[in-house]
Amino acid sequence: MKLAFTTLGCPEWDLERIIEKAVEFGYQGVDFRGYLNELDIYKTPEFTTDIEKTKEKFRKAKLEIPCFSSSVRLFTTSSEELGAFLNELDHYGQLCQYFQTPYIRVFGGSIGSTDRQEAIATVIENLKKMLVIAEKYDVTLLLETHDDWTNSAYVAEIYKKVDSKHFKVLWDIHHPYRTIHEDPDDTIETLGHSVSYTHWKDSYLTDKTEKGFQLCLLGEGDVPLERIYKRLVENEYDGYFTLEWEKKWWPDIEEPEIAFKQYADFMRALSERVD
């Protein structure tokens, strides 16, 4: 079992603390979604002028960077915005090449009032341009089950129509189940072996938050985590199990020192029960 956490969960940690805690808690990787106050990590000294030092720190700690989580959205009808996304992808492609990172996470994005089939056609056209960059750096773009692309059927349709080894799916196991009540069995039946990476989180329903649910430590909510894990094992999934602890967006949830350790302990216990 390969465990990682995204830096979304530790927005106040510097690089030394990120690495220290990843090693202490028994993680194999760190997925970068921002660093300190900067979401675009390719703008930070740690990933520009000091990049060699960063690489050496990860090498010494025997940690991988399995994914760079970008802000790129596949759906846009603005040529200017698309150009900015292509530029962002190129920056992450360079980082992937440098750190031997296989994946860049991308969003589908909001489609507004656009017809679904029209939106899918737009996404596919934009993806063709993005995949040129992915091929250039031999990296794989991961479309996350998120925002207006939480429904696995929409994601699967894009995957089948694009048919590229540089395009796979990131199954955020929380979003389809919690936000559109999609059964995880249906999700994995629909997405199958296109799933190359996973995000993990737990929650429970409540009327005390704007979203109607509360994020919580794994096992304290009602997301069927064990059933999802079993289905992934049955599907011969061999990718990362990455905790996406949304501390940056939900500042009142537990501190990363608590959540990161609890997740690693929970997942290892789950693996021992199921495997």
**pLDDT score at 251:** 96
Instruction: Show the tokens assigned to 228.
Output: 């999802």
Residue 171 has a pLDDT of: 98
Tell which CATH architecture fits domain 2-274. Alpha-Beta Barrel (3.20)
**pLDDT above 90 coverage of the chain, percent:** 99
Residue 134's pLDDT band, with cuts at 50, 70 and 90, is very high
Residue 255 is predicted with a pLDDT of: 98
Q: Can you give the pTM of this predicted structure? A: 0.96
CB 185: neighbour CB atoms within 10 A? 12
Residue 112 in this model has a pLDDT that exceeds 90: yes
Domain ranges of the chain: 2-274
16-37 confidence digits (pLDDT tens): 999 999 999 999 999 999 999 8
φ/ψ of residue 125, rounded to 5: -65, -45
User: Which uninterrupted H or E stretch holds 137?
Assistant: helix 116-137
pLDDT value for 240:
99
pLDDT in tens, 120-133: 999 999 999 999 99
Band (pLDDT 50/70/90 cuts) for residue 163 is confident
- Cβ atoms of residues 149 and 182 within 8 Å: no
Q: What is the pLDDT of residues 34-75, one digit of tens each?
A: 999 899 999 999 999 999 999 999 999 999 999 999 999 999
Render the burial of 11-28: b for 16+ CB within 10 Å, e for the rest. bebebeebbebbeebebb
The answer on pLDDT for 222 being more than 90 is yes
CA distance to 79, 144, 172, per residue, from 114 (Å): 17, 20, 24
Mean pLDDT of the chain: 98
Q: Please list the residues that pair with 202 across neighbouring strands.
A: 216
Query: Exposed, middle or buried by CB within 10 Å (0-12, 13-18, 19+), for 252?
Result: exposed
Of the chain, the percentage scoring pLDDT greater than 70 comes to 100
Those residues whose C-beta lies under 8 Å from the C-beta of residue 135, and which sit 6 or more positions away, are: 166
